Structure 1
Amino acid sequence: MDPAFVTRYALWADTSVSALRAADHLLLALATELALPEGTFACTHLLRGDRPRVALSFTLPSEPLLRTAEERLTAQGYEVTPGLPDEVGRVVVYPGADSLNGTVTVGELLTRSAIDRVTVLGTSGQPPAGQTLVTHGHVRPQWQGDELVLAAMPAIGGTLVPFEVPDPTPCCADH
């Protein structure tokens, strides 16, 4: 992604949400309310400090869309700041995200979406284009520099799955 695009047409909203799943739901609801067009990126960002929480960022394809989003978010009571809170957003809304349901190949994922690269935990290099990936409808890449990168891990039957699962088991859930 062109860094000028990110800097010029980005804003972020502070929230009181502290869990990623709740932040995803809020982000998707706001994306629907704002009627975000194709070409929009919407991310979650973990804010640390005295009040840990999840911020939401939006990178839009034009200045008028940015101003409209800023006005609507401010009207809803969000504190809105230009730019991004950090450089490593976890991307929830991005071009092609809706086409990544079920089982796709790595090549299809890269062709259908804005994701630039797939990495597999414990290996070097990118997996082959024909490698299958079972998405479970939950594909959350992250920005690494100017690239949108999906971390995946090996799964049963030689497939891959995204590293982040839709419904993680909380630590010590069985205690």
Structure 2
Amino acid sequence: MTSPHHASGVHSVIGVDAGTATLREADHLIHRVLGQLALTEGVFACTHLYRTGERRGTAVSLAVPEADVDVDALWPELLGMLPEGAGLALAGRSHGPDDAVDTARLAAAAPPASGRAVAYPGVAHLTGTVTVADLLDRTAIEQLVVLGAPAAELPPATRVLTQDHVRPEWRDGVLTLTLVPAAGGLLAPFEVPNPTPCCADHI
């Protein structure tokens, strides 16, 4: 059954290349943008690694629900808070240097085929230890995969140690979280918080 946090509805996807080189920097950018613009919980914000010619880094996509967000008003606000030289792309609209715009367009076109989700509906519930049922019923995460046992059936009461850092990925339109065994018979997200410690307080 589709949860109330499912990625349904019409979303406008804005691609951003603000020169962030690492996942940590991109995560920090996402939290800063979401905080300053006070965007709704229905937003999906993802990171996208890229390499085009000699350029490489991490771009960002912001999928905002059109029913809740005035994209025309959001566009100039984003322009005002991003560094000089940043690229933005939204459908036929763009801003910035050509190379940055090209990367922003790639980011905007990626979800839901691919992308690592930093912010998504229900993420605020994922602190401390939660159950498999919590993950699937209270967030936009639709599928759980255990590394090394992809076909494993997880009972709803299975406990997951979130470490306050849960980064699912889009896989062919399905928001999927990869889990690994943890101490005490628990499971934990495959990605640990060490690469992005600056964002732990934002989740």
TM superposition score category, shorter chain reference: 0.7 to 0.9
1:33 to 11, 16, 36: 36
1:50-94 Cα offsets, whole Å, 9 max, x none, are: 211111111111175322332212233432112514231111111
Match of 1:67 in 2: 72
Looking at structure 1, the residues matched to 61 and 39 of structure 2 have their Cα atoms a distance apart, in angstroms, of: 12
Structure 2: tracts of 5 or more residues without a match: 1-6, 92-107, 196-203
Structure 1: tracts of 5 or more residues without a match: 169-175
Is the Cα–Cα contact under 8 Å of residues 118 and 151 in structure 1 kept in the other structure?
yes
Give the total of aligned pairs: 165
**TM alignment of 1:1-175, pairs within 5 A:** 1-2=7-8, 5-6=10-11, 9-49=12-52, 50-62=54-66, 64-76=69-81, 77=84, 78-82=86-90, 84-86=108-110, 87-125=113-151, 126-168=153-195
The percentage of aligned residue pairs carrying the same residue is 39
1:44, CA displacement in angstroms? 0.7
After TM superposition, the score normalised by the length of structure 2 is: 0.75
After TM superposition, the score normalised by the length of structure 1 is: 0.87
Looking at structure 2, the residues matched to 137 and 159 of structure 1 have their Cα atoms a distance apart, in angstroms, of: 15
Looking at structure 2, the residues matched to 73 and 36 of structure 1 have their Cα atoms a distance apart, in angstroms, of: 12
Looking at structure 1, the residues matched to 35 and 174 of structure 2 have their Cα atoms a distance apart, in angstroms, of: 25
Which has the bigger relative contact order, CA under 8 A and spacing at least 6? 2
CA RMSD of aligned residues (A): 1.7
